[in-house]
Amino acid sequence: EAQVTQNPRYLITVTGKKLTVTCSQNMNHEYMSWYRQDPGLGLRQIYYSMNVEVTDKGDVPEGYKVSRKEKRNFPLILESPSPNQTSLYFCATRTGGYEQYFGPGTRLTVT
Amino acid sequence: AQSVTQLGSHVSVSEGALVLLRCNYSSSVPPYLFWYVQYPNQGLQLLLKYTSAATLVKGINGFEAEFKKSETSSHLTKPSAHMSDAAEYFCAVTPSPGGYNKLIFGAGTRLAVHP
């Protein structure tokens, strides 16, 4: 089954404690992306990757890092999380027809 | 910059009634326009995709969307609402020109279906 998986699904952490949210896809898509979803704002892109070792900033990259060492994985790293990064995070891949397919989401709370 | 506005953050319909959700976008012709649905505690599921080849596009779950280029808007409709249609619906476009590396989302419309 074609899917995008994210782990963990839920995470509560404290300010400043580094964390990583993993994303993996089994569709062999070159493009992967991270979004955050906040009430009343829809989804906003954090970073995207066109292929292995190729990443670029989206609209809200501050406070986040990414890496793309393998085609199937695209982890999101928060090196020093802050409460304003409390959000629902989605990883996505994209087909050649530009449809984006989303993972189930990771709900992050930073206290 | 491209922007997307969804009219009505909350819409409520009766079961069996017409569902009509509206989306306005700022560019005259976005390269691609998508409607997504998000059920509670789930990710986004693609309902349909518009690529300017037609003005009426059929999607999954009985939804279809009409595109009005002159008004830079899209209407998502379903003739008869089911209780299972209760969810949040998002309109998204690719930025133009040539901006295929991200989607610009509207803020979403939460659809409630009551008996």
Q: Which residues of B touch A50 (CB under 8 A)?
A: 101
Best of B5, B101, B104, B109 to substitute, by most chain A Cβ atoms within 10 angstroms, is B101
Q: What is the 3-state secondary structure (H, E, C) of chain A?
A: CCCEEEECCEEEECCCCCEEEEEEECCCCCEEEEEEEECCCEEEEEEEEEECCEEEECCCCCCCEECCCECCECCEEECCCCHHHCEEEEEEEECCCCCEEECCCEEEEEC
Contact A42 B4 (CB under 8 A): yes
Contact A98, B50 (CB under 8 A): no
Interface of A with B (CB under 8 A): 4, 31, 33, 40-45, 48, 50, 56, 58-59, 90, 97-105
Per-residue pLDDT of chain A (111 residues; tens, 9 = 90+): 879 999 999 999 999 999 999 999 999 999 999 999 999 899 999 999 999 999 999 999 999 999 999 999 999 999 999 999 999 999 999 987 788 999 999 999 999
